Amino acid sequence: MLVRLGSRGSRLALVQAQLAADALRRVRADVDVALVPITTAGDRDRTRPFGEIGARGVFVKELEEALLDGRVDVAVHSAKDMTSTDAAGLEVGAYLPREDPRDALCGAEALAPGMRIGTASVRRRAQLLALEPSLSIEPLRGNVDTRLRKRRERGLDAIVLAAAGLDRLGLAHEIGLRFDPVEIVPEAGQGAVALQVRAGEGDLAAAVDDPETRRRVEAERACVARIGGGCLAPVAAYHDGSILTALVAAEDGSWVERRSGSNPLALADALAEAARRLA
């Protein structure tokens, strides 16, 4: 049985797709896996801010279209790149065991006043400025290797990337600090790889699903989806296994609201209300 895995063509995306392929081969002796690289809007436009080219979903839309069109059987995503609700006709068939969900500071071992830091993420920008308002946050796009190179070329003091991606690429030596996930709350799903399938075809990937990762990531996604319904501010959510911590903030870091609890929807409602009062 041939299973076509759709993936972005970046080095990290292909490494993650290979993790998915290897997992499927281990549990499905009847499966032959083929990788199908697909270029997304986020890959084509590497200069404009994410908000100008579609915000969340810019790295998944074309993969989802390929699934719906029948050109691939499974789409492999960084779960943090997915929208907080499933596209019509699709579902997450499996989450691979989550790796380090934290954000990583590359180029320095700590934040210091006046540092120039590169990131294209409004979530990271807001939380960094809340920790140290004197930072200069500069836009930085590109794949992991490109952003590491641009840090050196532009003389930036540091950049912020997902620790899991650096680990998967063998670049953990670039990390000076892994932020506490309550200090810098990660993107929902960060560190997890999601295998998306057409609705009703979950059996294609179900055997490699990690139930604990699914429990945590789905709680994070549900919380962010609920907040996003009435809030345009940067949002984040992280479940540590027992407690869900979520955040909304001003892009300039002038206010940050965190809440922790066990009910994703109640937590989201409290944060959305706080955002409306402070915005």
Domain boundaries, the chain: 1-96+192-209, 103-178, 210-279
239 close to 224: Cβ distance less than 8 angstroms: no
Q: For the residues of 74-114, what is the DSSP string, one character each?
A: EEEEEGGGS-SSPPTTEEEEEEPPP----EEEES-SS--TT
Among residues 76, 83, 78, 18, the alpha carbon closest in space to that of 205 is found at: 76
Q: Which CATH class is domain 1-96+192-209?
A: alpha beta
| CB atoms closer than 10 angstroms to residue 78 | 23
Annotated active-site residue in 73, 81, 100, 103: 81
pLDDT at 192: 98
Is there a shared CATH topology between the 103-178 domain and the 210-279 domain? no
* CATH T-level fold of 103-178: D-Maltodextrin-Binding Protein; domain 2 (3.40.190)
* CATH T-level fold of 210-279: Double Stranded RNA Binding Domain (3.30.160)
Q: Residue 239 region, left (φ>0) first, then alpha (ψ -120 to 50), else beta?
A: beta
47's CB contacts (< 8 A; 6+ apart) are 141
The pLDDT tens digits for 138-188 are 999 899 999 999 999 999 999 999 999 999 999 999 999 999 999 999 999
Q: What backbone torsions phi and psi does residue 68 show, to the nearest 5 degrees?
A: -65, -30
The pLDDT tens digits for 203-254 are 999 999 999 999 999 999 999 999 875 455 789 999 999 999 999 999 999 9
Concerning whether 81 is annotated as a catalytic residue, the answer is yes
- The reported pTM is 0.91
The pLDDT tens digits for 16-75 are 999 999 999 999 888 899 999 998 766 655 554 545 444 557 789 899 999 999 999 999
Q: Confidence band (pLDDT; 50, 70, 90) for 2?
A: very high
Instruction: Pick 80 or 229 by higher pLDDT.
Output: 80
* pLDDT mean over 89-106: 98
Q: Confidence band (pLDDT; 50, 70, 90) for 272?
A: confident
- Helix 211-228 and helix 264-278: axis angle, to 10°? 30
215 close to 192: Cβ distance less than 8 angstroms: no
Say if residue 120's pLDDT is above 70: yes
